[in-house]
Amino acid sequence: MRFKTAFIISAFCAALATPATATCPGRVAVQVLGSGGPLADDARASAGYLLWVDGQARLLIDAGGGVFQRFGAAGARMTTLDAILISHLHADHVSDLAALLKSASFDDASAPLRVVGPSAGAVFPGIAEFLAAHFDARNGAYRYLSRLLDVDSDGFRISPVEIDATGEGEAIAFTHDEIGVRAIPVNHGDVPALAFAVSIDGASVVFAGDQSAFSEGFEQALGGARPDLLIAHHAISGAKGQPRGLHRDPASIGDMAAALGAKRLVLSHNMKRALDDWRAGRKAIRAAYDGPVEIAEDGECFSLRG
From 210, 219, 255, 277, residue interacting with Zn ion (rule: CB under 5 A): 210
Give least dist CB 92 to Zn ion, A.
Answer: 4
In the complex with Zn ion, which residue's Cβ is closer, 92 or 249?
Answer: 92
Angstrom distance (rounded) from CA 37 to CA 40? 8
Give least dist CB 247 to Zn ion, A.
Answer: 8
Q: How many CB atoms lie within 10 A of CB 237?
A: 21
Angstrom distance (rounded) from CA 38 to CA 106? 29
Helix orientation angle between 278-286 and 250-260, rounded to the nearest 10 degrees: 30
Encoded one letter per residue, x for contact with Zn ion by CB under 5 A and - for no contact, window 92-111 reads x-------------------
Q: In what order do the strands lie in the sheet with 203-209?
A: 171-176, 179-186, 193-200, 203-209, 229-233, 265-268, 293-295
In the complex with Zn ion, which residue's Cβ is closer, 189 or 261?
Answer: 189
Angstrom distance (rounded) from CA 146 to CA 134? 8
In the complex with Zn ion, which residue's Cβ is closer, 24 or 186?
Answer: 186
Give kind and range of the element (H or E) at residue 231. Answer: strand 229-233
In the complex with Zn ion, which residue's Cβ is closer, 210 or 219?
Answer: 210
In the complex with Zn ion, which residue's Cβ is closer, 210 or 277?
Answer: 210
Q: Where are the beta strands (DSSP E) in 54-170?
A: 56-61, 83-85, 113-118, 158-163
Give least dist CB 245 to Zn ion, A.
Answer: 14
| Residues between 65 and 94 that touch Zn ion (CB under 5 A) | 92
Which one of 96-104, 146-154, 183-191, 203-211 is the stretch in contact with Zn ion (CB under 5 A)?
203-211
Applying CB under 5 A, which residues contact Zn ion?
92, 210
